[in-house]
Amino acid sequence: MATYTRHPAESEARRPAQPRTAITRRQLEALQLAANGNTNAAIGHAMGITANTVAQLLEKTYRKLGANDRTHAASIAIRLGLIPLQAIALPDSFVTARAQGLL
């Protein structure tokens, strides 16, 4: 009877990415706010920092996660459990449509 051994590249492709170095609490806070659709200016206002500082925080976070942009970084963070799904707010229009049975 033949046995099948999975090629290492196949198993690697199925594993979620792991952060290359630890993500700081501030980086995670900024990423969670970004994942909720906030601009850098809005994130900065919420965190008490400038939009430029937010951009720098997020860029460092992208590198640590191996992400290409904020959407990719948010997806990776959710997949890794760094941002729980419950932390992502649904737009009011979606909530209303769902309550009315439209979705």
Query: Mean per-residue pLDDT for 67-73?
Result: 96
For residue 39, the enclosing domain spans: 24-99
Report the C-alpha gap between 57 and 27 in whole angstroms.
6
Could you tell me the pTM of the whole model?
0.73
* Helix or strand run (H / E) with residue 73: helix 70-79
Average pLDDT, the chain: 85
Residue 46 clears pLDDT 70, i.e. is over it = yes
CA atoms within 13 A on the CB side of 68: 1
Note whether residue 48 is domain-resident.
yes
Buried b (16+ CB within 10 A) or exposed e, 11-27: eeeeeeeebeeebeeeb
Residue of higher predicted confidence among 92 and 56: 56
Note whether residue 15 is domain-resident.
no
CB-CB neighbours of 43 under 10 Å = 23
- Give the pLDDT confidence score for residue 2 in this predicted structure: 53
Note whether residue 70 is domain-resident.
yes
Note whether residue 36 is domain-resident.
yes
> Where residue 79 sits, what CATH number does that domain have?
1.10.10.10
CB-CB neighbours of 77 under 10 Å = 25
Note whether residue 4 is domain-resident.
no
